[in-house]
Structure 1
Amino acid sequence: MSGNKVLELKNISKSFGTRKIIDKLNLSLDQGDILSIIGPSGAGKTTLLRLIAGLESADSGKFIHNGKEFDPTDRNNHLLGMVFQDYNLFPNLSVMDNITLAPIMVNKMSKADAEKVAEPVLKQLDLEKFKNLYPYQLSGGQKQRVAIARALQMKPEILCYDEPTSALDPELVGKVKEIFLKLKQTGMTQVVITHDHQFGKAVADKILKVEPIEK
Structure 2
Amino acid sequence: MAGRGRGQSYSEVSHAIREMLRAHSEASQSLARRLGLGITDATALDHLLSSENGLGPGELSRRLGIRSASATTLVDRLESTGHARRVPHPTDRRRQTVIATDQAYDEVLDALAPLFHRVEQAASRLTPDQAAATATFLRETAEAMRDYAAGPTRDAAGSTRDAAGGPVRDPGRGATEARGAGPVRDAVGEATRGTADELAPDPAAEAMRESAAEPARDHSAEGR
The alignment's TM-score, normalised by the length of structure 2, stands at: 0.27
Say which structure, 1 or 2, has more relative contact order (CA 8 Å, 6+ apart).
Answer: 2
The alignment's TM-score, normalised by the length of structure 1, stands at: 0.28
Structure (1 or 2) with the greater helix fraction: 2
Structure (1 or 2) with the greater strand fraction: 1
